[in-house]
Amino acid sequence: MQNYPISKSRMASLVSHPDEVKVVSRRFGQGATDIDRYLELDGYRAVQKALGMEADAIINEVKNSGLRGRGGAGFSTGMKWSFVPKQSAKPKYVLCNGDESEPGTCKDRLIFEHDPHSVIEGVMIGGLAVGARSGYIYIRGEYRYLSIIMQKAIRDAYTKGFLGKNIFGSGRDFDVYWHGGAGAYEVGEESALMESLEGKRGIPRIRPPFPAVVGLWGGPTVINNAETLASVPPIILGGAEWFAKLGPPKNGGTRLFCLSGNVAKPGVYELPMGYNLKKMIYEVGGGIPNGRQLKAVVPGGASCPCLTADEVDVNMDFDSVAKAGSMLGSGGVVVIDDAQCIVKFALRTMKFYQHESCGWCIPCREGTDWLKKTLVRFHAGGGVKKDIDNMQYLSENMLGRTFCPLGDAAAMPTIAFVKKFRKEFEDHLEGRPCPFELEGAREQMPVMAH
């Protein structure tokens, strides 16, 4: 790959707040892309400790830490690792899912940019836990400059002898490879990512069999998000109990929350799991600018149902947000103020999913297209009353009827927008143009980082 200089404007700026607990982000801004600096900052100590542990002990430590997948699903990482069979005729693999593409989410980007070795170390520890001898770090195609950083980090780790044959004199071998995506959101789905890595079109596989048993090139495979893997070295060094206590029960650790949209201080903040959403918006994010009021929040990336202003007094852990009727998802918190049109927001969200649908299954391919067309017409003032129920009906009929979660990801926010903001949809009816644009409200929608 071409080795071009990375312009400063492409590097994400760092923000901070006193409530932050820096675990995954502790090396951000510390020059840790340099392997010697990484070593000064406790780098590669966790993997050396893990080399002296039994595989089951590593898995139990991660299980007891309460670490749950940071990519969106929130499944127990230790549990996922325990599903990989001990014996296998085929090689086993560890995959890092760095195909971060969910609108509103930009946390893995910071990890790759500031602390790439922590991901390599997480992949290595995952490999020791499941008995794999190689791992892949798959990075989103649009993150080209981050791929350059990661490729250098991998090269440096080989040069130091931390990767390859006889790692740290342990008699064990471990290889790590970088792989770049081609710019498809769909490839963030784990089985589509494996197809892509194998050089095929990135569409999902039918399951079962699940990747833990039949994954990459048919071998048992664990696949974890980059933030999940970067959380593993601190767990090995600090212990499961310490990590678990950072968050509420069954939701261990911290989370990189990507705060964007209509907030005074947008940015990526590392806060303990279970941090209150209202506090996050008004204290960490500095509240809603320009004297506007909060209208809604998308709490975990574009695929999550929105919460209204009355519903934001919720703790940001997987279980509490689910209880509130949404999902913690990928940590992308998008704040929407009262100058924004929800119909336009729903349209923007649907345009994304319609564009990214891989087209393999009909409810998603046709459903997203119909919903987008209806929303375009509706927002332009060409809507009729029946459209509102039709959008809801169509979305509900996509749920659970597609090969991969993209169909649900498109349907769930639409259902919530229609249900919670029906009046706003009705205000667009019968030839009336968007009332928000009539009022001279901002043309610009909240900026979702992605």
Enumerate binding residues for ligand SF4 (CB under 6 A).
Answer: 186, 203-204, 357-361, 364-365, 402-404, 406-407
In the numeric block, which tokens belong to residue 20? 């932050």
CB of 192 to ligand SF4, least distance (A): 8
Q: What are phi and psi of 259, to 5 degrees?
A: -90, 120
CB of 69 to ligand SF4, least distance (A): 19
How far apart are the C-alpha atoms of 41 and 35, rounded to whole Å? 10
CB closer to ligand SF4 out of 20 and 100: 100
CB closer to ligand SF4 out of 239 and 405: 405
How far apart are the C-alpha atoms of 319 and 313, rounded to whole Å? 14
CB closer to ligand SF4 out of 192 and 314: 192
CB closer to ligand SF4 out of 246 and 409: 409
CB of 63 to ligand SF4, least distance (A): 30
How far apart are the C-alpha atoms of 411 and 357, rounded to whole Å? 12
Question: Which residue is listed with tokens 């890092």?
Answer: 96
How far apart are the C-alpha atoms of 403 and 395, rounded to whole Å? 15
The conformation of residue 210, written as its DSSP 8-state character, comes to P
Cis peptide before 209 (omega within 30 of 0): yes
Helix spans in 188-334 (H): 190-197, 226-238, 240-245, 277-279, 318-323
CB closer to ligand SF4 out of 153 and 192: 192
CB of 365 to ligand SF4, least distance (A): 5
CB closer to ligand SF4 out of 365 and 377: 365
How far apart are the C-alpha atoms of 2 and 133, rounded to whole Å? 28
Residue 334 parent element (H or E) = strand 332-337
Q: What are phi and psi of 37, to 5 degrees?
A: -65, -40
CB of 321 to ligand SF4, least distance (A): 23
CB of 356 to ligand SF4, least distance (A): 7
Q: What residue is closest to ligand SF4 based on CB?
A: 364
DSSP string, 74-129: --BHHHHHHTS-S--SSPPEEEEEE----TT--HHHHHHHH-HHHHHHHHHHHHHH
CB of 92 to ligand SF4, least distance (A): 26
CB of 40 to ligand SF4, least distance (A): 44
How far apart are the C-alpha atoms of 91 and 84, rounded to whole Å? 12
CB closer to ligand SF4 out of 343 and 411: 411
In the numeric block, which tokens belong to residue 176? 């790590």
Helix spans in 302-448 (H): 318-323, 342-356, 362-377, 385-398, 406-420, 422-426, 435-438
How far apart are the C-alpha atoms of 27 and 121, rounded to whole Å? 14
CB closer to ligand SF4 out of 27 and 372: 372
How far apart are the C-alpha atoms of 80 and 68, rounded to whole Å? 10
In the numeric block, which tokens belong to residue 341? 């049109």
Cis peptide before 435 (omega within 30 of 0): no
CB of 84 to ligand SF4, least distance (A): 25
CB closer to ligand SF4 out of 131 and 405: 405
CB closer to ligand SF4 out of 282 and 360: 360
Contact 71, 257 (CB under 8 A): no
Contact 198, 217 (CB under 8 A): yes
Burial class (CB in 10 A: 0-12, 13-18, 19+), 355: exposed
CB closer to ligand SF4 out of 240 and 371: 371
CB of 184 to ligand SF4, least distance (A): 9
CB of 363 to ligand SF4, least distance (A): 7
